[in-house]
Structure formats: C-alpha cells, structure tokens
Amino acid sequence: MTGLSRARVARRIAAGAAYGGGGIGLAGAAAVGLLLAEAQLARRRVGNGASGHVPNADGLYGASYTVPGEPALRLTMLGDSTAAGQGVHRAGQTPGALLASGVAAIAERPVGLSTVAVPGARSDDLERQVTLALADPSRVPDVCVIMIGANDVTHRMPPAHSVRHLSSAVRRLRTAGAEVVVGTCPDLGTIEPVRQPLRWLARRASRQLAAAQTIGAVEQGGRTVSLGDLLGPEFAANPRELFGPDNYHPSVEGYATAAMAVLPTVGAVLGLWPAEEERPDAARREGFLPVARAAAEAAEEAGTEVTAAMPSGPRGPWALLKRRRRRRLPEPEPAPSTQPT
C-alpha cells in the first residue's frame, strides 16, 4: 500500500469517526474468520493485558527541585496496560515514572504523577478515565499522555469508534486546559507468538488505526507520537530483551524505549524544548504535510511526532511532522507514598 493509499484509508476512518459512521474494516471482512482463528491460538500463548500486577507509580518526582510558592507540574497517564506499566515490578520502571523523572530534570521542577490508565482498557474507557483526570477543577493536569489502541485491535472494535472515543477524550482534556500527547497504537505484528498470516494482518490493522488516531487527536489540538517502537522494529530485533516475561508487554528496557520516544514531545508541549528544535529540519525529512499524509508517514516510523500546523489548505488541514532527537532518560527517583501536590 502506497503512502497516499494509507493516507486515504486513515482519512476515511477519521471521517467515519467524525460523522458517526462505522468506518472501514481494519483487515477486510474476508480476513476476519482467519484472524479470529489465529488470534485464539495466539491468546493461548500470550497474556491479554487484563490481569497481572501493576506497580503504583503515583507520587512526586524531582522533589529536590521544589521552590517555595512554585507548584509542581502535573502529569497524568491515561490508556491501557502500556500506559499503566503492566509487566514490570518496580514503580520507577513504569512509563509514567520515567516520563515524570525526565520532565522534572528538563524543567528543574517537581512533577506530580497521577495514573488513571487500566490494563485491558479500550478506547471506550477513555471517557471514564478523563472524568477521573478532571475530577478536581483546581488540579487540572498540565499534560496528559494517552497510550491506547492495542486492545481495540485485538477485540475488533471498529476503528471509527476507536477514533471517535479518542478524539472526544482529547477534546475534553484540551478544553479543560491540559496539553495532550497521544502515543498511537503500537505495531502488534511483532508479538513473538503471533504467526503469519495473523502477523501481517495485525501489523496492517494497528498501523491503520495509528494513522487514524493521529488525524483525530491532532484535529482536536493534541500531538501524537508513533509507538511502532513499542512493539515494532526494535522489539523484532531484540524480542528477548525488549519483551517482558509474558512475550506481550514490554520489559523494563522496552518501557524505557517508549518513554524516551515520548519525552521530547511532552517537553515540547510544555515549552521546555530548545526553540531551534521546534523548526522543521529538512535533513531529518521534517516538514508540513496534509494531516492525513503526515499521519500515514508517522505510522510507518516509530518516534515520529505530528502536531497541527496551518488550519487548512487545498487538501484539508495541515500538520507538522517531526522526527525529534531522543534524549537519555535520567534515573527515576522512588516516588514517595504521599500523593502528588
């Protein structure tokens, strides 16, 4: 499938979300029976993301940067097991703790982390999670990170429905005053026990959803980062290192890889990144594209950021596509037992 074809598919899914349609099938009706048969075999060998221990990482990070009278930044994690950190044993190994520690080091301010993500969640759970995140109007998060989509694919939620729920969540958070960064659906085609042809179908489905998620989130004022890395090329090359014991959730190194991909965009939305890195760099193939084209390209390359740019053009809204340089994450400090302030 060409880049333009991928862009058209993503736009059709996003349009279905906006206008209430069901959207197109992710893998095509003819493949559904085969997909279900192979999925049943695969599920016997991997976890489904709905159970298992999740460390409680909520708390204050970067406490040494505390200045009297200056409040801590607030970071909230929403989404599924990858946002919650299922598969690791210590709180400091979760993506929320890694991001909170990274933002604290960049901003030289403490960061209060709150997690409402739930293992096994699909996009239709985001309404509940957003309500929790915004429960206290005096403590609206400065930035929310959403990681969602894998369970939508494995449970065959219509992609337009997925995007509709995500778009609504981003809109509510932005209206409340929070910045939003969405880690789009990871590439499920590299889960180790999954064999062909399910592997190909899973890759196609997850990348189509990731591109459509990008359109929906960006049009509501959020930014997206492709999480193909989360279960993508780096996992395929190093499955024993980057997958956890269940061969499904990321390991400690895998979550660090994902957090390192998201951190530059979180820093950028908070105004913490160097100004020169906000300009597109032609040498890194960055630039302005129609949003559907940018979404399709981002879905093919992990770590790629998409953000709204010019409001409209001959081919609809435009976006800025960036391939940010990744920064090494600082060692996370243990979160205290008290809630973030």
Q: Could you give the CA distance from residue 66 to residue 275 in angstroms, rounded to a whole number?
A: 25
Label the pairing between strands 223-225 and 179-183: parallel
Strand partners, 75: 113, 143
**Taking 80 as the threshold, does the pLDDT of residue 41 lie above it?**
no
Q: Could you give the CA distance from residue 5 to residue 91 in angstroms, rounded to a whole number?
A: 42
Residue of higher predicted confidence among 5 and 199? 199
pTM for this model (two decimals) = 0.82
164-173, 220-229, 240-249: least confidently modelled range? 240-249
Residue of higher predicted confidence among 181 and 283? 181
pLDDT of 50-102, one tens digit each?
446 788 999 999 999 999 989 999 999 999 988 998 878 889 989 999 999 99
Backbone angles phi, psi at 176, to 5 degrees: -75, -15
Question: Given this model, what pLDDT does residue 198 score?
Answer: 67
**Taking 80 as the threshold, does the pLDDT of residue 313 lie above it?**
no
**Mean pLDDT over residues 293-302, rounded?**
85
3-state secondary structure 8-21: HHHHHHHHHHHHCC
**Taking 80 as the threshold, does the pLDDT of residue 128 lie above it?**
yes
Domain count, the chain: 1
Task: Report H helices in the chain.
Answer: 3-19, 29-43, 81-84, 95-107, 126-133, 150-154, 159-176, 198-219, 233-237, 239-242, 252-269, 291-300
**Mean pLDDT over residues 112-129, rounded?**
95
Query: Is 177 within the bounds of a domain?
Result: yes
Question: Given this model, what pLDDT does residue 6 score?
Answer: 56
Q: Which domain holds residue 282?
A: 57-321
232-241, 312-321, 332-341: least confidently modelled range? 232-241
Query: Is 293 within the bounds of a domain?
Result: yes
Question: Given this model, what pLDDT does residue 150 score?
Answer: 85
- Cα 292 to the chain's mean position, in Å? 18
- Length of the chain in residues, anyone? 341
Question: Given this model, what pLDDT does residue 234 score?
Answer: 45
Query: Is 116 within the bounds of a domain?
Result: yes
Question: Given this model, what pLDDT does residue 195 score?
Answer: 60
Question: Given this model, what pLDDT does residue 316 score?
Answer: 65
Query: Is 49 within the bounds of a domain?
Result: no
**Tokens standing for 176?**
């409340």
Question: Given this model, what pLDDT does residue 282 score?
Answer: 84
Query: Is 11 within the bounds of a domain?
Result: no
Residue of higher predicted confidence among 237 and 63? 63
Query: Is 255 within the bounds of a domain?
Result: yes
**Tokens standing for 17?**
């979300």
Residue of higher predicted confidence among 18 and 305? 305
Strand order of the β-sheet with 59-61 is 59-61, 111-115, 73-79, 143-147, 179-183, 223-225, 305-308, 318-322, 287-290
CATH number for the domain spanning 279: value is: 3.40.50.1110
Percent of the chain with pLDDT over 70: 68
The enclosing H or E element of 287 equals strand 287-290
Give the model's confidence band at 293: pLDDT under 50 very low, under 70 low, under 90 confident, else very high: confident
Question: Given this model, what pLDDT does residue 88 score?
Answer: 83
Residues belonging to the active site? 81, 246, 249
Helix pair angle (159-176, 198-219), 10° resolution: 30
Give the model's confidence band at 329: pLDDT under 50 very low, under 70 low, under 90 confident, else very high: low
Residue of higher predicted confidence among 243 and 182? 182
